[in-house]
Structure 1
Amino acid sequence: MGEVLFLAHRVPFPPDRGDKIRSHHLLAGLAKLGPVHVGTFGETVQDMAQKPLLVEMARTHALIERSRPLHLAGVEALLKGRAVSLTAFDDEAMHRYVAKTLGNHRIDTIFVFSGQMGQYIPDSFEGRVVFDMCDVDSAKFAAYAEAGQRKWINRREGRLLAREEERLAARADATLLISDNEVDLFRSRLTRPDAVSLHALGNGIDAQFFDPGRVTSHPDLDEGEGPQIVFTGQMDYAPNIAAAEWMIAHVMPALRKTHARARFHIIGRAPVRVLRDRHGEHGVRVWGEVEDVRPFLKSADLVVAPLLIARGVQNKVLEAMAMARPVVATPGAATGIDAAHGEHLVISSPDPQQLLAAIDRLLADPLHARAMGEAARRFVIERMSWDQVETELAELVRGAELPIDAA
């Protein structure tokens, strides 16, 4: 096959958060097929330090620092009638890199990772376009508005993003989403569903890295007297914040009536102040960013994913399952993971009493909890490897006719 131009809104190194994990593995899979050129953005010192890894993997690259303040992007978006998400990632240097790359190299395919980067596809490009939406961002903003969060802004963003998502899907030869549920949701929102080619391409898990046999336990959790409950994720991300607050307010007080020493560990970078202020309340410990999440998972009595708003496959759930931990997840958090309720994990409605009952049952039966964790690890090894994802990706990029999710 020819060369690929890979455009991602965040530099896909290191693979230490949901979108970076997916973009990293997709880029690695594409690099096995032929030369890749990478256009991407960095926001932090750590992001900008990833240049050597891009040099190693890509034939050419542009790692551009994105420094425009969000409030200025918001003002510009309002004046231009554009979505804030698009305006925030509109950069002249990236436009120049794309034009130069297309002019100097035989690019057969442009692979767009996330909707913010579709604006860089020239109208004149005649090659193959693959658009990885991951999940339906416009629906997420609509859900925020429905939940009462900045209603006017989020409703506007959802409406404008929906328009851009449909434009890109119609432009692309193949549009990827992370699960069959997301495919169905996106199709239901299209004005012309017959004009797009939709495919579900799930996430994988590196079960060799997330292996409880490769790490030691965490001493603070192992020495605790009560059950240790763990929740992981990017802790300045609105759905994770809402889930952690909900767990603190509605589940932990009741759980500590029967397990007085129960602890709820919130683990992940950039915890917002509203979470930091809950540290110590109802057995809560807010750790922030940690060097390695695996010892926390290994030492957890169980892992929870009580997401009230969720899009796509949750890496946090796959990581806990790979670490052979029993997981209690809400339906949204379990989306796209074709695991059996009661065998590989427990799926509980986002009702405090039902989720509490699910936790109590697992804590009361440690043999069953251990067997569930072991079954979960077997499931992800057998069914959710990145090798399988890369095989499906190669067929899509080469233009093979994979089964299209039927309406």
Structure 2
Amino acid sequence: MKILFVTPRFPYPPHRGDTSVPYHRMRLLSQRHEITLLSFYENEDELSDIDGLRSLCRRIETVRLPKWRSYSNMVLMGLLSRMPLQVLYYLSGKFRTRLNELLKDEAFDVIHVFMLRIAPYFFDIPGPKVIDLIDSMQLNFQRRVQLARLPKRLLLQEELRRVSSYERNIGQHFDQLVVVSQKDGAHIPSGRVNVIPLGVDTDIFSPEKDVPQCPVIIFSGNMFYSPNIQAVTWFVESCFPRIQRVLPTVSLLIVGNKPPKTILDLGQKAGITVTGFVASMPDALQRSSVSVTPMRSGSGMQFKILEAMACGLPVVTTTLGLGDIKARPGEEIFVKDSPEEFADAVILLLSTPELVQKIGEKARRFVVQNHSWESAAASVERVYEDVLENKRGRSFETVPRAASPLLIPRVIK
């Protein structure tokens, strides 16, 4: 098959969820199919590793998305349109033109679009189309609103209102939809939602035999993401002091890209280190004793949990953090919601090396058996086959040139 992948962020290197998913889809599907990539990027640094994708793609097309223009779109058009702000952020006449040129030059069997925010470019394009939503934005914003304070809460409520209407109707414009969990799929009223869980590269994320001399707790994730900020702040304020009283030598590593000042300030507290970006997340996990994922908001499936488990680390998470991961609480993962129970689970693990090893081995086995990227790629291929079977004989056409780029994301009523 000839497949056009379209992404809102350049998908290499795969350091975050919205780049890891398209990268690993392409990595495996390119072994059997011909891949063309069309992607936004915000600065030239993002393209410094473009060679990492050339072996996977027959053709790569990129369009720059200047931040000043994106913010202008949100402010100016946000007052006139009911579209989600994240959709307005990605408005680009150049992107529309490049897409039309690609569709004129190439005859694709399937277009595979990633995430809600660039979906409107494809509303008027016929032919087989799949959208990889990854998670439900409606569910994500519902949870974020519950924890937010004024005035941020008002902004999140407005985006929730916009996203809810938009997401409910997205199935009208695509042949098949993909999400990573049943809970996310339940918020998208379409009979064509496919649940394909996240994968982990278990060759890279693997156990390390060296055990830390002192107990080390790790929280990993992109630290500019609001649910991660909320989670680690809650852990530091509500759980870590209790752990320190019992285990004075314990340390906490907060590992992840672009930590804001509120997170950097946590590094001033005793026993806490904020690393920012690290070149190798597996190395950071392998130097740790226990992983914590105390999510209070967010949606989808937590990469950080699966990556830690693949490294043989015991994980303590919340019910919300566990989501649709089918690991057995108390056997392959610990699930605790109150600050006291969460802290006590971490203390128990750090005080019992044989339990750490036992849970870690079971966690690793669970991920290897249930979360391979190979299995996910096979599921994506089945989605393609279903789309093609139902649309046999139909081809892609470009959107009429008369269409204004600013009208791409029309309001869905």
TM more than 0.5: yes
Tell me the residue number matched to 1:108. 109
Which of 185, 192, 195 lines up with 1:197 in the alignment? 192
Deviations 1:75-94 (A, max 9, x none): 12323313210111111111
Letter of the structure 1 residue corresponding to residue 359 of structure 2: M
Identity between Structure 1 and Structure 2 (%): 24
Tell me the residue number matched to 2:184. 182
Tell me the residue number matched to 1:58. 57
Whether the 8 Å CA contact 1:362–1:368 is kept in 2: the answer is yes
What is the CA distance between 1:282 and its match in structure 2?
4.0
Letter of the structure 1 residue corresponding to residue 381 of structure 2: A
Tell me the residue number matched to 1:405. none
Letter of the structure 2 residue corresponding to residue 58 of structure 1: C
Whether the 8 Å CA contact 2:141–2:298 is kept in 1: the answer is no
Instruction: Return the TM-score normalized by structure 1.
Output: 0.89
Q: Within 2, Cα distance between the matches of 1:401 and 1:96?
A: 26
Give the 5 Å matches for 1:199-218.
Answer: 199-213=194-208
Find the residue that maps to 2:340 and give its secondary structure: helix
What is the CA distance between 1:122 and its match in structure 2?
4.8
Give the 5 Å matches for 1:147-296.
Answer: 147-149=147-149, 150-184=152-186, 186-187=187-188, 193=189, 195-213=190-208, 222-223=212-213, 225=214, 227-296=215-284
Q: Within 1, Cα distance between the matches of 2:85 and 2:256?
A: 26
Find the residue that maps to 2:169 and give its secondary structure: helix
Whether the 8 Å CA contact 1:48–1:65 is kept in 2: the answer is no
Q: Within 1, Cα distance between the matches of 2:87 and 2:21?
A: 21
Q: Within 2, Cα distance between the matches of 1:32 and 1:167?
A: 34
What is the CA distance between 1:400 and its match in structure 2?
6.8
Letter of the structure 2 residue corresponding to residue 130 of structure 1: V
Letter of the structure 1 residue corresponding to residue 94 of structure 2: A
What is the CA distance between 1:26 and its match in structure 2?
1.5
Q: 1:268 to 1:44 in 2, by over 3 A?
A: farther
What is the CA distance between 1:22 and its match in structure 2?
0.9
Whether the 8 Å CA contact 1:230–1:304 is kept in 2: the answer is yes
Q: Within 1, Cα distance between the matches of 2:95 and 2:71?
A: 21
Whether the 8 Å CA contact 1:138–1:157 is kept in 2: the answer is no
Pair 1:40-2:3 in alignment: no
Give the 5 Å matches for 1:250-399.
Answer: 250-349=238-337, 351-399=338-386
Q: 1:203 to 1:377 in 2, by over 3 A?
A: same
Q: Within 2, Cα distance between the matches of 1:400 and 1:106?
A: 16
Deviations 1:7-30 (A, max 9, x none): 111111111112211111122233
Find the residue that maps to 2:177 and give its secondary structure: strand
Pair 1:74-2:74 in alignment: yes
* Higher RCO, 1 vs 2 (CA within 8 Å, ≥6 residues apart): 2
Unaligned runs of 5+ in 1: 188-192, 403-407
Find the residue that maps to 1:61 and give its secondary structure: strand
How many residue pairs get matched? 385
Q: Within 2, Cα distance between the matches of 1:329 and 1:66?
A: 36
Q: Within 1, Cα distance between the matches of 2:134 and 2:194?
A: 11
